[in-house]
Amino acid sequence: MKRYVCIWFRQLLCDWQLIRRPELKEIPFVFAAPDHGRMLVTAVSEQALNFGVEMGMRAADAKAICPGLEVLDDKAGRAEKLLKGLGEWCIRYSPFVAVDSFLMDGLILEISGCAHLWGGEREYLKEIVSKLKSKGYTARMAIADTAGAAWAVSHYGKITPIIPNSAQAEALLSLPPEALRLEEVTLAKLRKLGFYQIKSFINMPRSVLRRRFGDDFLLRLGQALGTETELITPLQQVVPFTERLFCMEPIRTRTAIELAIQRLLDILCAQLAKEGKGLRSGTLNCFRIDGKAQQVSIGTNAASHSAGHLFKLFELKIEQIRPGLGIEMFVLDIGKVDDVAIDQEALWESRPGLNDKSVIRLLDRVAGKVAQRSSSVICLLRLIGRKGQQGLLALF
């Protein structure tokens, strides 16, 4: 069963501005953007909220009710750019991260199989919240079986942020209709009929709800309950073979990095062998405690699921990894795979020539060491002949 996290940045732009200008912490300020000849408020700081300033208010009216209000110019696409950057940072917690496109104020993570790396969902949430807070961002989060329910609870919920499996319906009952991500026209109809909580209409016949509120209303309700599919586009394509290793303590030494690579390769190569596949390209992502990431990639001339051989290719790249203050997580993604002809394994071991498995592995390692195209290395080996190949193999 899939599990989703919704991260809601309540004051995304204001937090970003305070990181850049800490002196504004005690000063009320807002962001405003032009709209049909008027300047409308697009983001409100905590100090300004205390004076009654609200989103969508005219900047002139906001200045009238809040003495000393500082009005900052907002730029189109700024929130989306910030969310994309935060989403790419959150890939350390899940390979599936998407920007919430409804209000452009949060992220959606599909976390199936991820939370256990941090000791469970509760510790997983604490980890993300604390790291975001250390960066200067305040966020509310929730976990549920559906992205819609996680969004509803993170934005409007007053109960536990972790909704048990198959309990999204119960979690939605006391929430307002706004929690279903509905358009304002639909919300106005619901208020006019006195439906101020989802429990007021959740059990009504679907035919009645469709007739009164339309198909979009039923779609949003179904997405929250899990009866309708919600298509979410991740920031990065999710690779079919990936494995994560969370470090209990940040690591900085080459030996520790080697052990991490070996463990990841052992797990992934076992999966590849089970499916008759082999790696053609792979990328190791090293996430540091300072928020930065290091990345190294390898490629092979022939598909391989030999952990020993692939480790030697990564071993050539370890010098490129700068652990800084320490690496807290490793993620190994296998971007491209090919079928491995199992029935040729013995044949390759017994026959000489460029199809010899040892020669193919030599090509990979030479290519990784001299950073040349594989075709150039093959041409070189053809020129030096079989004896020359044996001499090179002795060097490696």
Note the pLDDT of residue 74. Answer: 92
In a domain, 28, yes or no: no
Q: How many CB atoms lie within 10 A of CB 4?
A: 25
| Residues 287 and 214 occupy one common structural domain | no
| Residues 269 and 329 occupy one common structural domain | yes
> Running DSSP on this structure, what letter comes out for residue 67?
T
Q: Give this prediction's pTM.
A: 0.75
Tell me the per-residue pLDDT of 149-171, one tens digit each, with 9 for 90 and over.
999 999 999 878 999 999 999 99
The gap from C-alpha 299 to its chain's centroid, in whole angstroms, comes to 24
pLDDT band at 113 (very low <50, low <70, confident <90, very high): confident
- Choose between 350 and 36: higher pLDDT: 36
- Give the chain's domain count: 2
In a domain, 71, yes or no: no
- The 3-state DSSP class for residue 158 equals coil
Percent of the chain with pLDDT over 90: 66
In a domain, 186, yes or no: yes
Tell me the per-residue pLDDT of 24-51, one tens digit each, with 9 for 90 and over.
999 999 999 998 889 999 999 999 999 9
In a domain, 40, yes or no: no
* Contacts with 213 (C-beta within 8 Å, 6 or more apart), sequence order: 186, 189, 190
In a domain, 309, yes or no: yes
In a domain, 57, yes or no: no
Full domain range(s) for residue 197: 4-10+79-225
| Residues 218 and 363 occupy one common structural domain | no
| Residues 84 and 187 occupy one common structural domain | yes
| Residues 372 and 257 occupy one common structural domain | yes
Tell me the C-alpha to C-alpha distance, in Å, between residue 286 and each of 244, 355, 368: 10, 34, 19
| Residues 250 and 220 occupy one common structural domain | no
Q: What is the CATH number of the domain that holds 192?
A: 3.30.70
Note the pLDDT of residue 370. Answer: 55
CA distance 221 to 209: 10
Examine the fold and report which residue of 194, 225, 256 is the final residue of a domain before the chain moves on: 225
Tell me the per-residue pLDDT of 181-193, one tens digit each, with 9 for 90 and over.
999 999 999 999 9
Examine the fold and report which residue of 225, 250, 278 is the final residue of a domain before the chain moves on: 225
Q: What is the CATH number of the domain that holds 280?
A: 3.30.1490.100
8 A C-beta contact, residue 297 and residue 321: no
In a domain, 185, yes or no: yes
Strands 241-251 and 38-44: unpaired
